A and B are shown apart, each in its own frame.
Chain A
Amino acid sequence: AQTVTQSQPEMSVQEAETVTLSCTYDTSESDYYLFWYKQPPSRQMILVIRQEAYKQQNATENRFSVNFQKAAKSFSLKISDSQLGDAAMYFCAYSTASGTYKYIFGTGTRLKVLA
C-alpha cells in the first residue's frame, strides 16, 4: 500500500527567507502524481504545485518549487521569499495514475512565517 510521510509537524521561517518542507512516499508503481496542498486558517484546500512522476524536471510555480527525487521517493517543497500569507498547513499528497484513483495524504506540516 502507498504511504506518504511528512516528518516535520511544524516549521518556522522568517519573512523573505527560504524554507523547505519534506515529504517522502512509498509506492511500487512507476506512474503517479504528487501534490502539495496549502490549507490556510480559512480551511480551504488549495493546490500549490503538482509533479508528474514521469517528468524528470522539477515543477515550479512562482515562488514555489519542488525537489523530486524519484529513486529516493522524496518530494520536498521549497518556498522562496516567504510571505506572511504563506502561513498555513501544507499537505503532501500522492495519486495513482491508474487503477483505483485514490489519493493518499500526509499528516501535514504547519508553517509559521515570522515578521
Chain B
Amino acid sequence: DAGITQSPRHKVTETGTPVTLRCHQTENHRYMYWYRQDPGHGLRLIHYSYGVKDTDKGEVSDGYSVSRSKTEDFLLTLESATSSQTSVYFCAISERHPSYEQYFGPGTRLTVT
C-alpha cells in the first residue's frame, strides 16, 4: 500500500471556524490532490499540486485553500467552514509515469454543524 496518511480522520466543527486537513505521503510523489466525496457526485477535485509551492484549483475550489511547503505534505484549509462543506475528503498522490495511477489516503469525514 502507498504510504499516505490523512489527519484527522474524523472532525466535527462549527460553522464559521477555520479547519485544516493534512495529507502526508512517504512515496516522494510529485502530484498531490484533494477531493471531496458526496452522494450522487462521485469525487470532485478541490485543489491539486504539481510540485512544492505549485498548486492549482479544481472544479470546487471556492471556500478552500491549499499549501504545499514540502514534497510530503499537502494541507487543505477551509477558511470559514460552512454546512455545505460537510463531506468526506480524500487526498491522493500520483507520479504520473509510468502508470498514471492515483493512490488514495483513507479519507477524512468532516461534519460542520
Residues of A within 8 A of B (CB): 6, 9, 33, 35, 43-45, 47, 50, 91, 93, 95, 97, 100-108
B50-72 residues with Cβ-Cβ distance < 8 A to A are: 50, 56, 58
Which chain A residues lie closer than 8 Å to B90 at the CB level? 45
Say what secondary structure dominates the interface of chain A. Answer: loop
Which chain A residues lie closer than 8 Å to B106 at the CB level? 43-44
User: Which A residue sits closest to B56, measured CB to CB?
Assistant: A100
Say what secondary structure dominates the interface of chain B. Answer: strand
Q: How far is the CA of A93 from the CA of B33 in the complex (A)?
A: 14
A102-B58, A105-B44, A107-B41 known, 10 other contacts, Cβ within 8 Å: A43-B106, A44-B106, A44-B107, A45-B92, A50-B100, A91-B43, A95-B102, A102-B48, A103-B92, A105-B43
Query: Is residue B82 within 8 Å, beta carbon to beta carbon, of the partner chain?
Result: no
Which chain B residues lie closer than 8 Å to A9 at the CB level? 40
B40 in contact with A33 (CB, 8 Å): no
B104 in contact with A50 (CB, 8 Å): no
User: Which A residue sits closest to B38, measured CB to CB?
Assistant: A107
User: Which A residue sits closest to B106, measured CB to CB?
Assistant: A44
User: Which B residue sits closest to A98, measured CB to CB?
Assistant: B96
User: Which B residue sits closest to A104, measured CB to CB?
Assistant: B45
B100 in contact with A33 (CB, 8 Å): yes
Query: Would you give 21 A-B contacts (Cβ < 8 Å), ordered by A?
Result: A9-B40, A33-B100, A44-B106, A45-B92, A45-B102, A47-B101, A47-B102, A91-B42, A93-B102, A95-B100, A100-B56, A101-B50, A101-B96, A103-B45, A103-B94, A105-B43, A105-B44, A106-B42, A107-B40, A107-B41, A107-B42
